Each structure stands twice: as C-alpha cells, then as structure tokens.
Structure 1
C-alpha cells in the first residue's frame, strides 16, 4: 500500500512539473505572439469568500499564514472552438483541479489535488456574470456558469475557496482539452499500456496492449470516461497519471536536446490557455514554483458515492480541517 501511494505521489509530482513547464512556455508565447490583450475580458470580479484569521483544530490555536500565495490550475473538458464567450451558460467542466500552495517564507510549493466530483456550494451566475444564487453540486460544474472564460474561472476559484473554508485563490490558469493532441504529437506520440477497455469509444485502444498514442487517440485516452472501463473518474485519473508520466520523460529529453522544440511548443499552445495574471505575475509565480522545494501532493480524504445522477465525493471534514491548518495557518505563539 505504501509503495503504491509513493508511486502515485511521484506520478502526480511529475504531472505538476509538466504543467508548470507549460506555464513557462505559455508566458513566452504570450510575449512573442502578443496575445495577452486578446485574452482579457471586461468582467471584473472578486473572491467573495472570507478567510478566518484564527482557527482551532484539535485544541491547538492557529493564525493565518500571510506568506502564502495560491495558484489554481484547471484542465477543461472542452475545446477552444466550442467556447461561446457571449453566453453565460456553458457545458465546459473543470475535470482537473490542482491548487498550488506557495509559501514565500519556507520556499516550498505544496499541491492539493481536488477530485472533480467533490460536492460543494457553487455560484449560479446571471447574464452580467454576477452571482444570483448557489447550488450544491460537483465542483467541476462551477466552470459551466459564466462565459467559459474569465467569469467561469473566477466562479471555479470561488468554489475552491469555499471548499477550503474561505482560503483565497489568488490566481488561476485554465487550459482546454485541444492542447492534448497538440502536445502529444509535438513529442512524437506517447507510448502507454492501455489500462481500460475502450469498446466503441475508441476500438483502437485495447486493454493490455502497448500502443503509441497519436493525435485524437491521445485525447480519447486521457479524456474518455463514459463507456470506458468502469466509467469512473478514478480510473480516468489513473490513465492520466500513466500518460503524464510517459509524456514528462519524453518532453524532458526533447527540451534538453532540441533548441527548436521549445519554440514549437510556444507557438502551438498560446491559444489554449486563460489566466487572470499579467505576464510579469505569471513569470513571478512560475519562477517561484520552479525554484521552491516541491513538498507534498495532497489528495483529500473522503467518500465517493453514487448520487441520484452522478458520482459524488464528500471530503472528510476533520481531515480537511487538518489539511487547511497545515498548509494555510501557523500555530499561534504563546
């Protein structure tokens, strides 16, 4: 069991590193292609959650750590061409959620992996992007409210903040699924041993066979859930870890040995990402994440159950409170 957990942590660490590499590449692409202005919307929002300055956990008193910055990374189950930024109701879900927790004093970067099925209070947005109601549903659905861009990212950030008892999400970045086949083919394809039976979803992917994924086939492998294996998000997450493990190794080889590879990636990825950060802020956060010691990868403890329509994940309240205290607070000095 311990070996399995350590293996999973290692894979998630590599996954996070690849995401951070993509952030750095995206920054350069923004500078080169001058796309930042095109990405900015007119909507201005703010995190409405309130962080408690002092808390008590297991009899111990804690005060808020003011040296913490948070950066939310969202992987969106949608394609850039399908996004209608004039609509305030979309079906673009955030299937991957990673919260980077940067401690500027300790020089550490911890990561919280959030299950997309986590049940939380989600804001319902009106036609002007303002919150008009809240509903309890999967956190992945928070991104379906708003225009699929800045408003939706902010709404997801607020849902994450609510999950973490008001801890503010300082900045965010989202990436659409279109980027998967682009990245996959840039490295010449990724070899995997197929973990699930894909059936009619993609007959070329046969469980147990070793294949080199190409183009849309790579997207099918990391995105497919309904009609694949046991239809669960946990199985999909296992495939994503396998894929990212192989991708990381291959991308690092190419980055080390081919100067033109970085330029190719820069040009190809620029159109798939959205962030609330200025270019200089992204540079600052990426530099910190790269230089700081990578700490733990935390997956929330809890229970996954079959709901009326979909899977529902309920975090263990005591374990979540302890995690919040550990990452965002420091013990009060007597």
Structure 2
C-alpha cells in the first residue's frame, strides 16, 4: 500500500513537473515571440527612419539647393612649396560632399529673457551641431559660439519678413514663436553660416530640463572648469573640483554666468561643451545596454522640448550611433575671435567673428571627402 501511494505521489510529482515545464515552455515561447516582434518592429522603424532622413537630404537639395557637390580648391604657390616643393599655383584639389552624412542642430534655450533690441521668443544660448558620418563611423560635435556674428532675418510680430541684419546668431530664435517656427529660423541661420549644409533635424530644450536628464542617467562626473553660482549668487561648485552633477547643480553648471563681466558667455560655453560631451558619452554607453534610453530621456523632457525628429528616426539613429566612435577629439571648435561689448561698434554686446578660412577648412574636413583621383 505504501508502495502504491508512493508510486501515485511520484506520478503526480512527475506529472506536475512536466506540466510546469510545458507551461514554462509556452510562456518562454510567448516571450521569445514578443521579443522577436519588438525587434522586428524596431528594425522596421529603423528602416523607415533611415528612408525618411535620406528623403530629407533629397528634399533639401530640391528646395534649398545642396552645398556644391564637388569643390575645387586651388593651392597657392607658397603652400605648394611647403608641401612638396612644387610652385604650380594652379594645382587643384577636389572634394565631394558626403551625402550620407547626417547633421542635427541641438539648441539650449533660455526663455526667461529676450535678447536686447530683438523679439521675445527666447534665445538659443547653446548651439551644437551633432554630425554622424557612416563612412568612418564617427560622431562629431561642433559647438557654435552664441555670439557669432552672421546674417539674421528680422520678422515683425505678425511673422512678416522685414529685412536681414548682421547680429549674434543666437537671437535668430527669438524672432519666431518660441517653438517650431523659432527652430526653423535658427536652422536656416546656422545652415547659412556653414555655407548651406543640410541640417536633418533639430532638438530645442529649455535649460530647465537639464535636472531631469541628469537624474535619469544617474548624473555626470566631471572636473569643474570654473566657480559656479546659483540663482542667489552663492558659490555651489569650486573650480578644479571633481564633482558629480545631477539635479539643480547640473542646471547651474550649464547656465550660470556673470552678465556684468565681459565675454562671460565664452566661459559658460566651455562648460556647456564639457557637459554635453560627457552627456553624449554616457548616454551612448547606456544605450548599448538599453536601446530605449533615448526615448526615456525625451519622455522626461518632452514638456520642455521641441523637435522634428520622429520615433522611427530616433530608432535608426540609436541603432547606428552606438557603434560609432566619439571622444573629446571629435569635439571640433569653430575658430575665431571675440570682441567685448565695449569694443563693439554698434550693439554694445559681446561679438564673435569666425575665421572664415578656418571655418571653410573645417567644413571641408567634416562634411566633404577628397575626390578619387583618376
């Protein structure tokens, strides 16, 4: 009798185990199917995003005109002698525009005050071009000095074009509605500054969103480039300190400047460049482990951000950017010289003038490739 009961018990145990195993296999099957569905969905979104970005390049070419596809540069006699002792000043170098490159404009917006003498849509106090090159699998970051003097289109309160003036590039944003219109105006000004390169999308974020982003990614570690003060002008970070930035400290690090000091925007721009470089590097590393990180970041700042980059485009960019090389060497500064407000002739505001020759060379280096010699 004991043996019979023992046999029944063993049978029930084995039967139960087989039932559990079967259930686990079914659940596992559904999980695998769901994972495959999600992966397939991400793949489809990625393909769609790639197609959309390519179409934008083609549309830009049709409407605004692409930058010259092939550029011929004639080297001077002295340059030739330095290079290879040749004095033929008619020697030509040919460059082709890289039509596979993707360029995005990031704008950090200060909406608390209007630029003096201009509209009240806010200011683009931080401007960065983010460049993805699939040919060499690199990411480049090009900070743009907000005081860069360039052509700015002036619009009245009804949005009617009035004229074009030379002013700081950051004020172009203010002539729009503080949203998409402002972003489109800013893109055009930056594109013109860079000799008409296509810009495939934009992200404009109010500086008040910085705390949410840094907290979501667990903060950023860096060495403070300068003393940083909060809104009460109390020093909260000391120059040279190794600090862990999150929350309000991160916000003040990229925002603080002494407006009474000459050329103070330059020091803040250095901190912004350092912060954004560290941010990109950390997000890139986190995205390798979790492809949804960029979406989570955008969701955390969506009420303070404006973008024309779609979900499928983000999916594609996330998929490719994780394997791209990015380091401080890929942060490329636009050369030029700054003039303080006291020195400027008309505006009384700080001004930055790019070195046109150096800027042209930068554009050739980043956005063009040497033509194959035949």
User: Same-fold call, TM > 0.5?
Assistant: yes
2:104 paired residue number: 71
Instruction: State the alpha-carbon separation in 1 of the partners of residues 93 and 284 from structure 2.
Output: 44
> Does 1:223 pair with 2:262?
no
How far 1:153 sits from its partner (Å)?
Answer: 0.7
> Does 1:325 pair with 2:341?
no
2:67 paired residue number: 51
Higher relative contact order (CA 8 A, sep 6+): 1
How far 1:106 sits from its partner (Å)?
Answer: 3.4
1:133 paired residue number: 163
How far 1:146 sits from its partner (Å)?
Answer: 0.7
Alpha-carbon distance change, 286 to 142 in structure 1, aligned in 2, over 3 angstroms: farther
2:95 paired residue number: 62
How far 1:181 sits from its partner (Å)?
Answer: 2.6
Q: Which moved more, 1:245-254 or 1:293-302?
A: 245-254
**1:81-116: CA deviations, max 9, x gaps?**
x99xxxx94241112222122223333322222111
How far 1:158 sits from its partner (Å)?
Answer: 0.7
Alpha-carbon distance change, 267 to 113 in structure 1, aligned in 2, over 3 angstroms: closer
Mapping 1:251-270, distance limit 5 Å: 267-270=299-302
Is contact 2:105-2:201 (8 Å) kept?
Answer: yes
> Does 1:287 pair with 2:319?
yes
Structure 1 length-normalised TM: 0.69
Instruction: State the alpha-carbon separation in 1 of the partners of residues 252 and 96 from structure 2.
Output: 45
Alpha-carbon distance change, 251 to 139 in structure 1, aligned in 2, over 3 angstroms: same
Instruction: Indicate the RMSD between aligned Cα atoms, in angstroms.
Output: 4.0
Report which of the two structures shows the higher radius of gyration computed on alpha carbons: 2
Pairing partner for 2:272 from 208, 220, 240: 240
Pairing partner for 2:153 from 113, 123, 128: 123
Instruction: State the alpha-carbon separation in 1 of the partners of residues 138 and 280 from structure 2.
Output: 22
Q: Which moved more, 1:223-232 or 1:275-284?
A: 223-232
Instruction: State the alpha-carbon separation in 1 of the partners of residues 255 and 162 from structure 2.
Output: 32
Instruction: State the alpha-carbon separation in 1 of the partners of residues 283 and 256 from structure 2.
Output: 23
2:134 paired residue number: 104
More helix by share: 2
2:350 paired residue number: 311
Alpha-carbon distance change, 282 to 123 in structure 1, aligned in 2, over 3 angstroms: farther
1:39 paired residue number: none
Is contact 2:287-2:322 (8 Å) kept?
Answer: no
2:31 paired residue number: none
Is contact 1:75-1:177 (8 Å) kept?
Answer: yes
Is contact 2:228-2:237 (8 Å) kept?
Answer: yes
Is contact 2:153-2:165 (8 Å) kept?
Answer: yes
Alpha-carbon distance change, 49 to 135 in structure 1, aligned in 2, over 3 angstroms: farther
Is contact 2:228-2:253 (8 Å) kept?
Answer: no
2:233 paired residue number: 202
Instruction: State the alpha-carbon separation in 2 of the partners of residues 48 and 261 from structure 1.
Output: 34
How far 1:120 sits from its partner (Å)?
Answer: 0.9
2:49 paired residue number: none
Is contact 1:119-1:313 (8 Å) kept?
Answer: yes
Alpha-carbon distance change, 72 to 181 in structure 1, aligned in 2, over 3 angstroms: same
Is contact 1:74-1:174 (8 Å) kept?
Answer: yes
* SS of corresponding position for 1:148: coil
Pairs aligned (count): 286
* SS of corresponding position for 2:124: strand
Instruction: State the alpha-carbon separation in 1 of the partners of residues 293 and 133 from structure 2.
Output: 32
Pairing partner for 1:93 from 116, 123, 130: 123
Structure 2 length-normalised TM: 0.62
The answer for unaligned runs of 5 or more in structure 2 is 1-41, 43-58, 76-91
Instruction: State the alpha-carbon separation in 2 of the partners of residues 64 and 265 from structure 1.
Output: 33
* SS of corresponding position for 1:165: coil
Is contact 2:230-2:256 (8 Å) kept?
Answer: no
* SS of corresponding position for 1:298: coil
How far 1:193 sits from its partner (Å)?
Answer: 6.5
